Chains A and B, each alone.
Chain A
Amino acid sequence: MSSGTFAAYRPILIAIAALAALPLAVPLLVGAGLFAGPNTFYNLMIFILIITLAAQGWNIAGGYGGQFSFGHAAFFGTGAYAQAVLQTRYGVNAWVALPLAMALGGLVGALIGLLAFRARLRGSYFALVTLAFAEVFRILANATPITGGAAGTLVPLRIGFGQMQFDAPAAFFYLALAFVAVVLILNRLLERSRFGAWLVAVRENEDAARALGVDTLTVKLKAITLSAAVTAVAGALYTQKFLYVDANIAYGAWISVEALLAPIVGGIGTVFGPLIGAVALIGLGEAAKTVIHAAFGSAVPGVDLVVYGLLLVVVIAFAPRGLIGLLRTRGGR
C-alpha cells in the first residue's frame, strides 16, 4: 500500500475509530443530562447508523450515479421482510438470513433498474417509477399472508449471539458500525476505481459518456444493484434491532425520504455525506423535539420532520454540496 493510498483511507479509519470510541463517552453524556440513560444513547446511535447505511446505499446510485431514486423503501423493505420472514417461516438462522436479505434486495434493485433503465427513464421519470414500485410493494406486503399482512411480522425474542440478538446494547451498535465502516471503505474503493469514474461520467453527462464508449446501461444496472443491496442490509438490521416489521415501516415513504435526505444534506456523491447527513438530520430532529416539548409542555408530532424539510431546502439553497462542501470551503480545499 503506497502512502498515497493510505492517505485516501486515513480519514475513514479516523472516523471509524472515533465512532468506535463513542461508548466511552456515554457516562459523560448521560451525566451531562443529554441522554436519559445509556439505552437512550445506544438506541439513537443505532438508529443513526441504520439510516446511514440506507443512505450510503442511496448515495451509490443517487450520489455517484445521479439516478435520483424516490423509492429506496423498495430495497430497505425487501431486506427487512426477508430478514424477518426467513427466520420466522423458514427457520433460517439470523446470520444466514442477513446475506440472503442483502442478495434479495440487490435482485429487486437489478429488476427495477433493468425495467427503468431499459425504458430510458431519467430524472423525474426515474424518481416516479421508483416511487411507484415502492408503493406497489407496500400495498402487496400489506395484503399478502406471507408477510403477515397488515399485522406485520414479529421476530421472537431469543437473546444470543447465534440469533444476532444481544443483551448489551453496545454489541448491536458495533455490529451496525461494522457495516457502515465496510461501506465507507467500499465507497472509497469505488471512487478510485474505473467503475466509479464511469458512474460519475454517467451522472455528469450520460450521452457524452456513451459517446466515449461507456456501457451506460450496464454501469447504471451495477450501481442500482449495489445500491439496493446496501440499503437492504439496513432493512435487515432494522428488523434485527426492533424485531418487528410491517408494510408501513418496511416499504413506507419515510425511509425513501431519509435515504435520500441524508446524503443530500451531508454531501451528495461523497464518502462521508450519508453519515454526516444522518447525524445532522436525526440530531437536529431530536433537538427540535426536545425544545418544542420543553416549550409546550407536551410532544408536538411532526416537528422533527419540519426541521428535516427546512434543512433540505436550506442546504440546497445555500450549500448545494452539502455540509461537507461547507467544511471543505472553510478548510480552503
Chain B
Amino acid sequence: MFRSYPPQIVLEAVLNGLLTGAVYALVAFGLTLVYGVLHIINFAHGAMLTLAMFAVLVAHIGFGIDPYLAILPLTPLFFAFGYGLQRFVISPASRNDDGAILLVTLGLSIVLENLLLAIFRSDTRTLTLDYSFSVVDTGFALLSLPRVIGFGVALIVAAALWAILALTDTGKAIRAVAKEKLGASLVGIDVNHIYAVTFGLGAATLAVAACLLMPSFYVNPRVGNAFVLVAFTVVVLGGMGSIAGALVGGLVIGVVESLSGLYLGESLGQIGIFLIFILVLLFRPTGLFGAKA
C-alpha cells in the first residue's frame, strides 16, 4: 500500500501541507477563541466561513474588488456580523446555557448554509484571477503564490490576535472572562459585551481566511463543513482556547493531510485527520497546549 517517493516530492508535500495548514489555523483561531471564552463549540463557524467566501465572490464579481483588497471592508463587516449574532441572537435565544448555545449555533449553521443554497444553488464556483496559478520558485520547490500569501497573512493575523489579547484592555477583559466570568463581572466587565466581541473577532478572522482562500479555492454552500471539521481537529489538537496551539495544530494537520493524501490517496487521505481527532479526544482531550482540565 505504501509507495516510496523521492525526497523532492515528499518535501514539496510537506511544504504545501504547511501552507494549507496556516489557513486551517486561521479558520481555527475563531473557533478556539470562542471556545476559550464561552466554553462552547460554535457549530455555525463553518457556515460563517462559507458566507464569508460568498461575500468575497460577490465583492469580486459584483464590484470588481480584488479578494486581497476585500480584506479591508469584509473584516470589520464580519466583526459587526459576529458581534450582532452573539449579542442579539445566540445569547438571548440560549440564555447563555451551554447545551442551548450548542444547539442555537447548530440551528444558525443550518439556516445560513441553506439560505446560501437557496440563493446561489449548489453549483461550485471559482474566481478567475491572473495570479490564481502563479508559482513561487524557492529553488528546491515550486509553491503556489496565493498559498504563500495565505501563509504569510495567517502568521500576521496570529500575531495580531496575540497582540490584541496580550496588550489591549479589551484583550485583558477577554482573558478575565475566559478565566472567571463571575469575577470579571464583579469588577465591572460587561460579560455579554465581551462574549460578543470574542464572537466578532472569530467572525473577522473568518473573513480574512475567506479572502485568502478564494484566489486558489472554490466555493459552494457546503464548503465550510469540510473546513470546520478540520478546524475542530486543529482546535482539539492544539488545546481548546489556545491561539498558539491552533497555529501549531493547523500546521501539523496541514502536513498530515498532505502526506496521508500522498500515501493513501485522495479518498482515504482525510481519514488521517479524523483518526488524529478521535485519538486526541480520547487520550489527551486537553490537547498539546491546553491547560490541564
Contacts and interface: CB of A to CB of B under 8 A. Distances in A.
Interface in B96-117: 98-100, 102-104, 106-117
B285 A310 contact: no
User: How extensive is the interface on chain B, given as a class?
Assistant: 35 or more
Given A127-B102, A302-B118, A302-B221, A316 B93 contact: yes
Contacts of B40: 124
A309 interface: yes
Query: Taking each of A129, A132, A317, which has the highest tally of chain B beta carbons within 10 Å of its own beta carbon?
Result: A132
B132 interface: no
A68 interface: yes
A300 interface: yes
Contacts of A68: 99, 102
B172 interface: no
Contact of A119 (B109, B112, B115, B285): B285
A214 B93 CA distance: 34
B111 A309 contact: yes
Contacts of B98: 123-124
A253 B114 CA distance: 14
Given A119-B283, A127-B102, A313 B41 contact: no
B202 to A, nearest CB: 15
Contact of B110 (A121, A257, A317): A257
Contacts of A311: 107
Contacts of A123: 98-99, 102
A139 B267 contact: yes
B110 A306 contact: yes
Contact of A312 (B103, B114, B229, B282): B103
A143 B281 contact: no
A264 B103 CA distance: 9
B94 A121 contact: no
A303 B111 CA distance: 9
B281 A125 contact: yes
A87 B93 CA distance: 47
Contacts of B102: 68, 123-124, 127
A305 interface: yes
Contacts of B277: 128-129, 132
Please report whether the interface of chain B is mostly helix, strand, loop or mixed according to DSSP.
Answer: helix
B122 interface: yes
Query: Taking each of A68, A253, A312, A316, which has the highest tally of chain B beta carbons within 10 Å of its own beta carbon?
Result: A316
A136 B104 contact: no
A175 interface: no
Interface string A128-143: 1101110110011011
Contact of A300 (B39, B100, B118, B275): B118
Interface string A27-69: 0000000000000000000000000000000000000001010
B46 to A, nearest CB: 11
A317 B89 CA distance: 9
B92 interface: yes
A306 B225 contact: no
Interface residues of A, number: 40
B274 A139 contact: yes
A317 B94 CA distance: 6
A253 B7 CA distance: 39
A301 B114 CA distance: 8
Contacts of B113: 302, 305
B129 to A, nearest CB: 29
B274 A309 contact: no
Interface string A287-313: 000000000000011110110111111
B111 A119 contact: no
Contact of A128 (B116, B225, B281): B281
B41 A124 contact: yes
Contact of A316 (B104, B109, B275): B104
B278 interface: yes
A312 B118 contact: no
A118 B102 CA distance: 23
Interface string A264-299: 100000000000000000000000000000000000
Contact of B268 (A143, A257, A316): A143
A308 B103 CA distance: 12
Contacts of A301: 114, 117-118, 121-122
Contacts of A303: 114, 118
A309 B110 contact: yes
B281 A312 contact: no
B65 interface: no
Closest 7 CB pairs between A and B?
A309-B110, A302-B114, A312-B107, A302-B117, A309-B111, A317-B93, A313-B107
23 contacts: A70-B106, A115-B278, A128-B232, A128-B236, A129-B277, A129-B278, A129-B281, A140-B271, A143-B267, A253-B225, A257-B110, A301-B117, A301-B122, A302-B113, A305-B114, A306-B118, A308-B110, A310-B107, A312-B107, A313-B89, A313-B107, A316-B107, A317-B94
Given A132-B232, A301-B114, 18 more contacts: A66-B99, A68-B102, A70-B106, A116-B282, A123-B98, A125-B281, A128-B232, A129-B281, A139-B274, A257-B106, A257-B110, A303-B118, A306-B111, A310-B111, A312-B107, A312-B110, A313-B93, A317-B93
